A = this chain, B = another copy of it.
């Protein structure tokens, strides 16, 4: 998905929010803000939004001399999600439709996104969980169920720390021993890295692969050769969250996207209401989107 005009003011607001999140030093915050404005003024709008965000968050890490400004937030998210995990697992196991329940809870976890909401609270997570089972789910669950049952190699592209614990619920419903989880190659915002996959215990139920990139999405050209190879060979790719949608919505293979459509631009691109829980295939989306 290309960047739209409405993405630009949002980039600038996100840059300021993230700079404030990373440092109380107003001189550094101002430097980040001006860097984002320069980058926005020069930006090629054919780029995906995560390509722009990658540059902004590199600048934040450089100017604050912090490799991972969201480390504490990620640990906090993992702790909250792990505290919920036993309860949620019971919900899935006791459900008449365990795969659907796991899909819904995995999407509920997508609320843990400090790029969109730097003031995320435990109450937000709680609310997302409690709404997840009753809200409408956009997309074809039957098709997804069929796709999951016939696979040999699943690549599950994770999105954020904390959220990755919710992903575990769904991964446990997929054919055992067939799943590889893709995580970011290095820290960006609160996106899940290898450390978060381990914190979620995913190494116990799946292989884990780093994608070699620090973009908050999956910019294939920026990913490592082994990751790209895994992406091409997988017979089922499941991609979580807005960043993965923005970077893979036009890719030349089938991908199942699972996300909350938190921003109006993405909701319009998908053709759903803002805030909707979405499960859909890439080739359908390419036909529907603008």
B-contacting residues of A (Cβ < 8 Å)?
5-6, 8-10, 12-13, 16, 26, 29-30, 33-34, 37-38, 40-41, 45
Contact = CB atoms under 8 A, between A and B. Distances in A.
A29 B12 contact: no
Contacts of A10: 9
Contacts of A5: 16, 26, 29-30, 33
Given A8-B33, A9-B12, 11 more contacts: A5-B16, A5-B33, A8-B12, A8-B16, A12-B37, A12-B40, A30-B45, A34-B40, A34-B41, A37-B38, A37-B41
Q: Which secondary structure characterizes the binding site on chain A?
A: helix
A30 B43 CA distance: 11
Nearest to A12: B9
A223 B12 CA distance: 32
**8 nearest A-B residue pairs (beta carbon):** A37-B41, A9-B13, A9-B12, A37-B40, A38-B41, A37-B37, A34-B41, A12-B12
A34 B29 CA distance: 21
A38 B29 CA distance: 18
A151 to B, nearest CB: 42
Nearest to A40: B37
A211 to B, nearest CB: 30
A38 B8 CA distance: 13
Nearest to A6: B16
27 contacts: A5-B16, A5-B26, A5-B29, A5-B30, A5-B33, A6-B16, A8-B12, A8-B16, A8-B33, A8-B37, A9-B9, A9-B10, A9-B12, A9-B13, A9-B16, A12-B12, A12-B37, A12-B40, A30-B45, A34-B40, A34-B41, A37-B37, A37-B38, A37-B40, A37-B41, A38-B41, A41-B41
Contacts of A12: 8-9, 12, 37, 40
A258 B34 CA distance: 33
A201 to B, nearest CB: 39
A14 B9 CA distance: 9
A16 B8 CA distance: 9
Nearest to A38: B41
A111 B34 CA distance: 31
Contacts of A8: 12, 16, 33, 37
Nearest to A14: B9
A239 to B, nearest CB: 29
A8 B9 CA distance: 9
Contacts of A37: 8, 12, 37-38, 40-41
A45 B37 CA distance: 14
A60 to B, nearest CB: 14
